[in-house]
Structure 1
Amino acid sequence: MFSNPYMMIAAAVLATVSSARAESPQRLAAGWRHSVVVDERGGVWSWGENRLGQLGDGSFNASPLPVAVRGPGGEGRLADVVAVSAGTHHTLAILRDGTVWAWGNNAFGQLGNGAWGLQAHSNLPVPVLGPAGKGVLRGAVAVAAGWDHSVAILQDGTVWAWGSSCHGQLGDGVRDSNRWSTHPVQVLGLGGQGRLQRVGAVACGIHHTIALLDDGTVCAWGGNWEGQLGVGARRQSGRPETRHSPTAVQVLGIGGDGILRQVKAIAAGVFHNLAVLEDGTAVAWGYNGGGQLGEGTRANFWEGNANVRQVPAPVRVVGPDGQAALEKVAAVAAGYEISWARIDDGTLRSWGWNVFGELGAGLPLGVNRDRPQLIRRGDGGDGEGGDQPLLGDIVEFAGGVRHALARDAKGRIWAWGHNGFGQLALADLMDRTFPVQVPEFSESPAKPPQTRPAGKPRRRTLHDQLPGDARRFNVRDYGATGDGVHLDMPAIQAAVDAACAAGGGIVLLPPGVYRTGTVRLNSGVQLHLDEGATILGSTNRTHYPQQGLIYADGARNIAVTGPGVIDGQGQAFTSRAWRVQILYLNDCDGVNVCDVTTRNSGSWTQHYIRCRNLSIRGATVNSPRPGRNNDGIDLSGCEDVLIEDCTVISDDDAIVVKSQSSDRVNRNYRVLNNRVFTYRGAIKLGTETRAPYANLVVRNLEGWGPKAIEIYSVDGTELENVEIEGVRAHDAQAAILIRLGARLRPHYFQQGEPIAPGSLRGVRIKDVQVELSDKSYREILLEHGIDNAGVADCRRYPPRAGFISGLPEHRIEDVRIENVSIRHPGGGRETDVFRSVPERPDAYPSSSIFGQLPAYGLYCRHADGIQLRNVTIRTENADPRPMLVCDDVKNLLVDRMNATAASPRFPVIWLIGVDDAVIENCTAPQGAEVFVAATGTAPALDRIRLQANDTRHAATPLRRLAPGELIASGLPLFRETSPGLVVMEADQLWLVEPMAVQTDAERPSDRHIAVATPGSREQGGAYGRFEISTPGEYVLWARTFGPSAESDSFYVSIDGGPPSLSDLDQLGAWHWTAVRNRIEGKSAGRARTVVPLEAGRHTIQIRNRESGTRIAKVVIVRKDLPFDPERDLSSPSWQ
């Protein structure tokens, strides 16, 4: 079985297919951010990220186009390659002669060439040494590459590994953070007895390794934080026991019953594994945060408990219906929180978290699926659904961390998912949710487009000067190596403890890289990082007794300073379970954070809880990697805070003030002269808002991509006295979002505390300039040359100017907004004006909480004392919506609020139920039919005053409407055909999408209106006006067609009155329906709709209720007239 190297398949890191019964070696490999392919002549091509030389082309330059891997010493091309494997940042290859070559990152000796260290990486292939470092490794038939280790199977069925032993991933019995091997060591047998033999396939995760034996069983070794070893044990808490093992252990059977048997293929993801059984079904175990185990219980990955997030024994992968098992599986692959499978018919399936489009099914970015999805090509149109052609005839595929590759029977290579570093061979660096074809390889490829290099940090003036009389404690004097490989945690902590014992002092980190877990700061200690000094977070959770890299609790007079860097290596942790924060300070007094850079956090980058006298100046945060809640600077219950001259680049909110319990009061903040890059909140109060907020001042804040200002009270807090001044936001998603809600999370309230909404009052916002756009966050970071921009979110979001929205019984009070300029791209639809804006009191507050708003500018609701002064909103493209909509607002002042364009159909300002409003010094733009429309009743309507406005361009300065009266102007007008009779052709009404004019195939000359899109219930409508000469009671008729019982009703309303829900009289034929209003449900009966009308003009609204209901004509006739539409009206369309 082990004599023929071409019958084996290599298993790449974190995904690539492996099988003991493969018919050809693995010739595709996908790593963290790069891709590798073996061509038909045995040459190797690679593309993507290359900062550590993982492309093997002799350079350290990234390439979005395939480049040839060079030969040894850079001579010619690497040739005679039969298999490849891509690790996180290194690559392995097997040559025809059975030797193994490696290139890329070599910090822990994972290249196996006898070297190690941060400067030991190689951008050219080097041979892997033999055991004990003698000669070269020979007889290799399969290789697998992990985060910082490598594994090979030899022809005799033994397994050899090299690289880091931090988690026991080498399987040689060693689990030591200061031990690694720069040459192959033999993997021991089960329980450390003898040597592991008769191995047919191997696969590497980030901290673990799995192997398939020739008897169909599977063993595993290394880290077990998420149950990825498959040993099945759980604590009483429900989480897996962390039974790490530096030697092989057997993977248990399904549900922990017996031993897993009859396995024919395996794959390892970052924290989970997959296996294919002989019967064609698949099983999975390990981390399940994104539904990547495919067992069907993680449809919403924001919910659920540890019992489904960490699964320590195999479970079956379900089929698309979520019930029966997925069948006819030929091979599998696994990534970060994603899994793939190839079916016997050559098609592919995927399941898990679609952060970058790695599902390949055209689904929106950010969603997850916990059951298999069909992977489709993207050449059949845009969007999700069955209209796209299947990606078929796949003979080989490989999965990376966030992207995948596949080769079809014609030799074409397809790629999809993350492309932030060009790993899909697309130079635009944008992700793809469908597979795209990789260009053909060329010895002289076209020069890839030049991308802007990563920007240098702006020159900073250091805010902190080391006091000359303070005692210094150099960590090198306590044993720190600063080589980035050895664990320096004990030495750094010893220096901190010594400084504290001496009554305080400066713990100095000179230039170097210091790998460490939690460092606990004690009172009186200043941790200072010199220029060139980096604290590097360990990837081993054992090194974190607290969930922070730099941690303090109850300390006084502490500081973290200097121009150095603290790197959390957050990408090495899961995105939903246990994660590390970089600065985690609780209940501290006298905290000084100056000049330091914190980056790559696993969670909130800087987190301060109940801290007092806190100063953060000149700090830089760089944490754009998509995760869950990767905020920049988080403050919870802090007092007397200064945040000044900081730069924050974050995947989530940039500067955010929170409160999760009633004792976390936020008071006396000054946030001055900061700049942020984010696609979430630039400055955000909330969402956790339990204790009072008071006296917060924000001045001179500049942001790129953000929701500029977010102010929320949704968990019972009293929020007041907030001043925000001098905000500039570029390519922003939203300008101003203010929300008083009633989410009221119960666990934020102590026993006996009343659970009730809070208050929001006293907000002052002035001097704000916002340019809205739908540009993706990654595009923004790339344009500005931000380091690590390729990991950023690639989604586009609809821009919204903003809202001020309280609750009917809990109103926002006293908000003043002054000197604001907003540029909006426009593009809204007329249908948006008619949307009923939901209240959603308990919803998570965000810019999309209410969906598309009826105003392109500001939407205000349930508020008292709103002042809008000198506010200008410009639209770049046509937008029919009003500039301002106010609903249930009292004491409103609109002074010098101007729009640059208007729709002739809708007002510029729409006031609904507004009492006591003054509109003054405003200018009506050209094209405005109505300047202000006010809907309501007297006497409130009489308290709406317009004064000193320029309304020359508006035909109607103020239009008063009764409740429910249609707001649109310029609707088609139908006149009587005879006294008391109006006949309206439905196709001449004004239509709101998705209502549209249609024809029947058998009678193309006949026209009617309908909503054809299935499932478009309650969407779309038709509007018009009619004129009658005599008053009286009127009834309605409609010429209708209903194809089924699911398409047999519609709404009709006259003059904005209550709509009649009318059912059709017949199905399957055109007929006249007498409009009747359903009473208490369909079975309870129907009453003929009778409408009393005065002589003059009236409006009619026909709204869709069930898609498919067709309407050709509508008749309004006086009730006392003897009228029969079949008798009195004749037209070919009625016969």
Structure 2
Amino acid sequence: MWKQFTGAVLAVGLWACGPGETIEGQAEQPGATTAALTATASYDSTLKVPRCSGVASGCDSGSLVNGRGPTMGPELNAPNTLGATCPDGTAGAYHNDESVERVKVYTTDGTDLAPGKQVTLEVDVWAWSSYTADALDLYYAADASNPAWTFITTLVPAGAGAQTLRVNYTLPPSGGSTQAVRAAFRYMGSPGACTGGSYDDRDDLAFAVVGASLPKASSLAAGYHYSLKMDQEGTVRAWGMNQQGQLGNGTTTQSTTPVGVVGLDNVESVTTGEAHSLALKKDGTVWTWGNNSHGQLGDGTTTIRTTPVQVVGLTNVVAIAANKEHSLAVKQDGTVWTWGNNSHGQLGIGVTPPQYTPVQVAGLSGVMSVAAGGRFSLALKQDGTVWAWGDNICGQLGDGTLTSRYTPVRVTSLTQATALVADSYHSLALKQDGTVWGWGCNYSGQLGDGTTTDRATPVRVSGLSGVTRIDTGSSHSLAVRNDGSVWAWGDNYAGQLGDGTTTLRITPVQVPGFSGAVAVQAGGMHSLALKLDGTVWASGYNYYGQLGNGSNFEQHSPVKVLLP
């Protein structure tokens, strides 16, 4: 039996989240509220969920999600999950078995919905007669157009039939102009943003928030010796090494300050490989530039590109990743596509030559994000499991062996993951409870477990909790906690940990005096941090100008990037 949860709300996908606690009390009639809701949602055919497009003090789905699926009641536009990516179970009968009837979110003080505001999430459900076997899992996404689901809590109905359940949480302080919540009502089983039970019902509600200009965590990327930053208008700037055209400005000249990527707009997120760059546009297309020695740009050639070109035949993309000489993408339907070097099976399609255009990874579905290591790849499924393939020289696939895998295998014993990152030879995962777990090479302490012992299965990063964002460099790792502080561990040869020293750290240390962080990115031997005010700060190796502060001198503490 699931017990009602009261405790800290963890901001995993994006940023700081305050304490979340259930509002105690007896079951109520559906629709009862403790605050006036000023907007009623209408169906958004792009997001495929009920949405309140104007900012208000609250948002109410009304009757749009009443019922479950196409046959279990009058639910319109089923399944009412973002991108229609999570279908409902079809077993049972309307108002006899489990269903979500209504979803509402509103501020506790009656002011407009805004980042950092405390809100009440209120869900009407219909519980089965044996209601103690039912559980309502609640999630939020800081950006409805590119959702990464963060677990809030699990609630159990107080009786059979119509019930109203509530929880307080804090809207994340950064993300998109439209946020979302998910009510996932299940019969038995374990928590998950998209469970597969035949009686389960999931419904999302999207709503506008004040402060659309807040920085997005996906707007920052660090390559091996260069960096990228997307601005609020969807254009991109780059700085650092440029021998392969990875800055995208039409030259191969390095720059110690940010320069504009040519001809790129309407960008949703950016990522980098060793010397090639990727941008996901809002229309679901992917654009690439830089080194193309093994077809990692996906344009059907091996020609270096100093300005962006479109990846051939790839549409409806929702997530991207890259490393050394290969690239990955997740499509809206949860499938994974890869291209580039396949010398170690990193494309997940068996033993083949390089692929110059995207190919689908067979046997993978329900994927929400991907990560790319040096010669291996990872995928995070909606059920919180992690899958890996490619080189496994020191256990970076996490399956308990050192055997390379040419098709996906499951990472051993890892569940409830919400984010993945990887670099040369190690991997990290962030779990729903705000803890971080690592596996793979550990010669510089980059796994943060207090040793330098390689790990073929996940181990917990020591002493770190309440984490909201993670990233990995070649041999160092970074994390942001829900108080906006930055923590770092691993190699510190050039001061990339930002703690004012060059001392290697085998457990996390806090970057002194640094607060208000929204995201972190780790390059080869440099680190970047994005703050809530939109500024970017950098530390570490700087021979190629990858710190973006106008110099070539390494920095052992964060310095401000000279963005316009």
Shift, 1:265, TM fit = 1.2
Q: Deviations over 1:1010-1052 (max 9, x none)?
A: xxxxxxxxxxxxxxxxxxxxxxxxxxxxxxxxxxxxxxxxxxx
Structure 1 partner of 2:319 = 142
Number of corresponding residues: 361
**Equivalent-residue separation in structure 2 for 1:152 and 1:25 (angstroms):** 18
Counterpart of 1:432 (choices 528, 550, 555) is: 555
Which 5+ residue runs of structure 1 have no aligned equivalent?
Answer: 10-19, 72-77, 131-136, 190-195, 234-240, 254-259, 299-307, 320-325, 377-389, 442-1135
Q: Map 1:769-918 onto structure 2 (within 5 A).
A: none
Structure 2 partner of 1:57 = 249
Counterpart of 1:161 (choices 327, 331, 338) is: 338
Structure 2 partner of 1:422 = 545
Shift, 1:297, TM fit = 2.2
Task: Name the aligned partner's letter for residue 341 of structure 1.
Answer: A
Q: Is 2:257–2:563's contact at 8 Å kept on the other side of the alignment?
A: no
Counterpart of 1:217 (choices 385, 399, 413) is: 385
Structure 2 partner of 1:313 = 457
3-state secondary structure, aligned to 1:6: coil
**Equivalent-residue separation in structure 2 for 1:265 and 1:288 (angstroms):** 20
Q: Is 1:99–1:127's contact at 8 Å kept on the other side of the alignment?
A: yes
**Equivalent-residue separation in structure 2 for 1:327 and 1:99 (angstroms):** 36
Counterpart of 2:492 (choices 345, 350, 354) is: 354
**Equivalent-residue separation in structure 1 for 2:428 and 2:540 (angstroms):** 20
Q: Deviations over 1:323-352 (max 9, x none)?
A: xxx111112111111011110111110000
Q: Deviations over 1:180-226 (max 9, x none)?
A: 1110000122xxxxxx1111111111100111110011010110011
Task: Spell out structure 1 runs of 4+ moving beyond 3 A.
Answer: none
3-state secondary structure, aligned to 1:26: helix
3-state secondary structure, aligned to 2:145: helix
Q: Does 1:126 align with 2:300?
A: no
Structure 1 partner of 2:508 = 372
Shift, 1:8, TM fit = 4.1
Task: Name the aligned partner's letter for residue 406 of structure 2.
Answer: P
Structure 2 partner of 1:94 = 280
Q: Deviations over 1:630-668 (max 9, x none)?
A: xxxxxxxxxxxxxxxxxxxxxxxxxxxxxxxxxxxxxxx
Structure 2 partner of 1:228 = 396
Shift, 1:96, TM fit = 1.2
Q: Is 2:217–2:518's contact at 8 Å kept on the other side of the alignment?
A: no
Q: Does 1:293 align with 2:447?
A: yes
TM-score, length of structure 2 as denominator length: 0.62
Shift, 1:417, TM fit = 1.2
Task: Name the aligned partner's letter for residue 100 of structure 1.
Answer: V
**Equivalent-residue separation in structure 2 for 1:40 and 1:25 (angstroms):** 12
Q: Is 1:415–1:436's contact at 8 Å kept on the other side of the alignment?
A: yes
Q: Deviations over 1:222-280 (max 9, x none)?
A: 100111000113xxxxxxx3x11111000012xxxxxx101111110210011111111
Shift, 1:401, TM fit = 1.9
Q: Which has the higher contact order (CA 8 A, sep 6+)?
A: 2
TM-score, length of structure 1 as denominator length: 0.31
Structure 2 partner of 1:206 = 374
Structure 2 partner of 1:632 = none
Shift, 1:427, TM fit = 3.3
**Equivalent-residue separation in structure 2 for 1:102 and 1:440 (angstroms):** 22
Shift, 1:25, TM fit = 6.0
Shift, 1:5, TM fit = 7.4
Q: Is 1:2–1:156's contact at 8 Å kept on the other side of the alignment?
A: no
Structure 1 partner of 2:361 = 187
Counterpart of 1:272 (choices 426, 429, 439) is: 426
Task: Name the aligned partner's letter for residue 248 of structure 1.
Answer: P
Task: Name the aligned partner's letter for residue 332 of structure 1.
Answer: I
**Equivalent-residue separation in structure 2 for 1:357 and 1:425 (angstroms):** 16
Larger Rg: 1
* Identical-pair percentage: 42
Counterpart of 1:103 (choices 289, 294, 300) is: 289
Q: Does 1:330 align with 2:468?
A: yes
**Equivalent-residue separation in structure 2 for 1:102 and 1:68 (angstroms):** 15
Q: Map 1:488-507 onto structure 2 (within 5 A).
A: none
Shift, 1:403, TM fit = 1.2
Structure 2 partner of 1:115 = 301
**Equivalent-residue separation in structure 2 for 1:339 and 1:122 (angstroms):** 30
Q: Deviations over 1:725-748 (max 9, x none)?
A: xxxxxxxxxxxxxxxxxxxxxxxx
Which 5+ residue runs of structure 2 have no aligned equivalent?
Answer: 1-80, 84-142, 149-191, 194-214
Q: Greater helix share, 1 or 2?
A: 1
**Equivalent-residue separation in structure 2 for 1:232 and 1:284 (angstroms):** 13
**Equivalent-residue separation in structure 1 for 2:292 and 2:144 (angstroms):** 26
Q: Deviations over 1:512-546 (max 9, x none)?
A: xxxxxxxxxxxxxxxxxxxxxxxxxxxxxxxxxxx
Q: Does 1:284 align with 2:284?
A: no
Structure 2 partner of 1:29 = 221
Q: Is 2:497–2:527's contact at 8 Å kept on the other side of the alignment?
A: no
The root-mean-square deviation of aligned C-alpha atoms, in Å, is: 1.6
Counterpart of 1:170 (choices 347, 353, 356) is: 347
Q: Map 1:691-706 onto structure 2 (within 5 A).
A: none
Q: Deviations over 1:453-481 (max 9, x none)?
A: xxxxxxxxxxxxxxxxxxxxxxxxxxxxx
Task: Name the aligned partner's letter for residue 251 of structure 2.
Answer: S
Structure 1 partner of 2:33 = none
Shift, 1:2, TM fit = 5.5
Structure 1 partner of 2:260 = 68
Shift, 1:400, TM fit = 1.4
Q: Deviations over 1:951-1001 (max 9, x none)?
A: xxxxxxxxxxxxxxxxxxxxxxxxxxxxxxxxxxxxxxxxxxxxxxxxxxx
Q: Is 1:272–1:284's contact at 8 Å kept on the other side of the alignment?
A: yes
Shift, 1:397, TM fit = 2.0
**Equivalent-residue separation in structure 1 for 2:246 and 2:377 (angstroms):** 21
Q: Is 1:2–1:157's contact at 8 Å kept on the other side of the alignment?
A: no
Shift, 1:88, TM fit = 0.3
Shift, 1:162, TM fit = 0.4
Name whichever of 85-94 and 328-337 sits farther off. Answer: 328-337
Structure 2 partner of 1:408 = 531
Q: Is 2:335–2:365's contact at 8 Å kept on the other side of the alignment?
A: yes
Counterpart of 1:250 (choices 403, 410, 413) is: 410
